[in-house]
Amino acid sequence: MATASTQTFELSIDSLCRRSFQLAGLLEARQLPSTDDLALAHDFLGMELDALQADGIVLRTVERTTLALTAGTAEYTLDGSTIDVYVDPSNVVGTIVPTTGNETLVRAMSRQEYLSISNKDTQTNPALVYVEKQGTTKVVFWPVPEVNCTFRYAKIRLPYDSSDGSKTMDLARRWQQAICYTIAWQLATAKSLPLDRVGFIRNTAEEMKARARMGDTEKTNIQMYVSRYY
């Protein structure tokens, strides 16, 4: 028997919203939501994506990128789509890529740590960076770059707009089912369905979100050893 020739299955935003109406019991399979109802579902979807990102959930919003550093300049404002800079579990923010030679690691420092540096004008290869998030996202390096170089890092950007129903969502495919049920219980609440029905759909959504969250966690190899105790 022949198998499918593609490896992807992604619903468009309109399709996912329609399935949410059906899960809530508000539409039959052959029916389509009205324009106003579809707009309502789009709003719920947009708020849910923002809430997930505020919780630190990685959707498709982490992108590897670079920043050109100028000799003698410590502070840089990142582009408007950047809301944060990814810091890995070992506190590494990125690397400094010189025009010649090897890359070196750059680690994150807190605001207090940066303020406690007595000589902020020291120039050599940057080893620390303070990420400041106040309206715009800025990075401040210490020591200050002595020569022109490149900062290689991963930015966390704003999620893409979810109001265009013909596009696919700005989230990994493993989140599709969880989001579908999440929008379903929100629609069920908005349409004043019985509370037991709303509660059932919401509980299912939370279970699926918990499962999807596990897929957004970096995994390492684990070895377990058995010791004998007397």
d(CA 178, CA 180): 5
How high does pLDDT run on average in the chain? 85
Q: What is the pLDDT of residue 220?
A: 47
The model's confidence at residue 182, banded by pLDDT at 50, 70 and 90, is: very high
| 19-23, 52-56, 152-156: segment of lowest average pLDDT | 52-56
Percent over 90 (pLDDT), the chain: 55
**227 pLDDT higher than 90:** no
Output b/e per residue, 120-148; b: 16+ Cβ within 10 A. Answer: eeeeeebebbbbeeeeebbbbbbbbbeee
CA 46-24-29 angle, 5° bins:
105
Average pLDDT, stretch 90-100?
Answer: 93
Give every CB contact of residue 96 below 8 A, 6+ residues apart in sequence: 69, 103, 104, 106, 125, 126, 145, 149, 150, 151, 152
pLDDT tens by residue, 98-144: 988 889 999 999 999 999 999 999 999 999 999 998 878 999 999 99
The model's confidence at residue 60, banded by pLDDT at 50, 70 and 90, is: low
d(CA 207, CA 177): 11
Tell me which of 220 and 27 has the higher pLDDT.
Answer: 27
Output phi, psi for 104, to 5 deg. -130, 150
HSE toward the beta carbon, residue 141, CA cutoff 13 A? 31
DSSP category for residue 14:
H
Average pLDDT, stretch 186-195?
Answer: 94
Tell me which of 25 and 217 has the higher pLDDT.
Answer: 25
**230 pLDDT higher than 70:** no
**82 pLDDT higher than 90:** no
Cα dihedral value 166, 167, 173, 175, nearest 10: -80
For the chain, give every domain's residue range: 13-57+161-213, 62-157
d(CA 59, CA 95): 23
SS3 212: helix
Structure pTM? 0.61
Q: What is the pLDDT of residue 65?
A: 93
Average pLDDT, stretch 203-213?
Answer: 90
Residue 188: exposure state from Cβ atoms within 10 A (0-12, 13-18, ≥19):
buried
